[in-house]
Amino acid sequence: LPPALLHGDGTYELLENATDPPLGARPEHVPRPQASAAYRGGDTLILYTDGLIERREEDIDTSLDLLKKALVGMTDLSPDRLADTLLARLGVAGGGDDDIALVVVRL
């Protein structure tokens, strides 16, 4: 799943240029794709596992759209508060059906 980059002006983007299968999921060693993205001080990088957004009854594009909508209005939140709010908005603050890892880094 693509990391999300939340900009200080409230816009966001999904960083889809270097997505790849999870570590250990390839049958042989193949170089992983590399990419870069421009950011400004105050932007926030959000890394997450599939348990944060994937739902068995939803298409992955629908799940990614929900993530995008959940990011609206979070620019001024601290990383800790942003993580808590994101979990709540996605309905998994109390846990979910799958494991969830979430890393929020202010750049």
pLDDT averaged over consecutive 10-residue blocks of the chain (107 residues)?
93 86 70 86 94 87 92 94 96 85 96
pLDDT at 9: 93
Q: Collapse the DSSP code of 54 into the 3-class scheme (helix H, G, I; strand E, B; otherwise coil) and give the result.
A: coil
- Greatest CA span in the chain, whole angstroms? 43
pLDDT at 30: 75
pLDDT at 74: 93
CB neighbourhood size of 27 (10 A)? 5
Reported pTM: 0.86
Please report, as a single letter, which amino acid is at residue 106. Answer: R
**CATH number given to 4-106:** 3.60.40.10
